[in-house]
Amino acid sequence: MLEKDFRSHQEDQCLSKEFTCLKCNTINNRSQQHSELQCLEMQIISIKEKLDILEEKPKRIEDNYNRLLQLYERLKRNANYAAKIQLYRDARQPSAPPYESPSPTNSEIGSSTLFSQVAAIRNGPLRISTINFAQIPRAIKNGGHIPNGYAGFNWENAYYMFEDFVKARQLKGFTNAFVNSRQYVAYNGRGDSMSFSLCDQSKTFGLHSFEAISIYHEDFKLSVAAYRVDVLFDTKFVMLTTAKATTFEMDWEQIDKVVFKPERNLETLKPETFALTCLNLLL
């Protein structure tokens, strides 16, 4: 088959073919984008319709319905604030103003009942905060400890450094951290663990992602642990490089403390130092 005939076949025949989604049982054309959110919407609608006609609601079906609602909420919220993070990550303020999630139309949801159920969960105000370590109170040109209270957090073994200081002292290990117009970074003193926690212990936050770079060691292993009321919530491991800062998604919610712990490297005498260029939070 010639290439032009193949393209014509794709456009005129393949894309018009219908398929049935095995999860939500809807019929779609191949040319249509059947997203995960759309699939969840249809599943929720289907289960809600079944529950509405049953006098006794089976617990198994209700539990499944609630799980789907929670998953829908999380996926939609992540899509909303992930887009906002890109807008705020280069902001000079440590926190960005609150915003309201966009309200969907009935046609987007497909059911007024579903709209009220989902909207009640996900239309609360979200506050995106990108901390890029700018405007630290009483900052000095040689750098220093990040003071407690900065951006609403207490900081342990967290230090800040300016780009001008790095250039003046020719600190090659930190040079690659200052890209994309960044002028400030945070780093762990003496290569030890670094943490930050909310000043207001009655509140929680979410860590969507962070950007980090290794200062001295290639293939540098860093453990990142989230806590909730002094109880370990989750731990993830990431690998850092000295070439450039890398963004790592955590997608943690309702936590109050994060601990960064570097893996010890006994092959050299250099400390296990890493730099954070930004923290993308959901408050």
Sequence spans of domains, the chain: 17-125, 132-282
Q: What per-residue confidence (pLDDT) applies to 228?
A: 95
DSSP-derived pairing of the beta strands 125-126 and 99-100 = antiparallel
Which single residue is written with the structure tokens 């731990």? Answer: 235
244 contacts 215 by C-beta, under 8 angstroms: no
Q: What per-residue confidence (pLDDT) applies to 264?
A: 86
CA dist 178 and 171 (Å) reads 12
CA dist 156 and 126 (Å) reads 27
CA dist 154 and 147 (Å) reads 7
CA dist 51 and 48 (Å) reads 5
53 contacts 47 by C-beta, under 8 angstroms: no
Residue partners of 86: CB distance under 8 A and separation at least 6:
none
pTM of the complete model: 0.58
Model pLDDT for residues 64-99, shown as the tens digit of each residue: 888 888 887 777 766 665 555 544 444 434 443 333
Average pLDDT, stretch 48-75? 81
Q: How many CB atoms lie within 10 A of CB 248?
A: 16
Q: How many CB atoms lie within 10 A of CB 13?
A: 10
At residue 180 the predicted structure's pLDDT band, cuts being 50, 70 and 90, is confident
Fold observed for domain 132-282: Jelly Rolls (2.60.120)
CA 219 to chain centre: 23
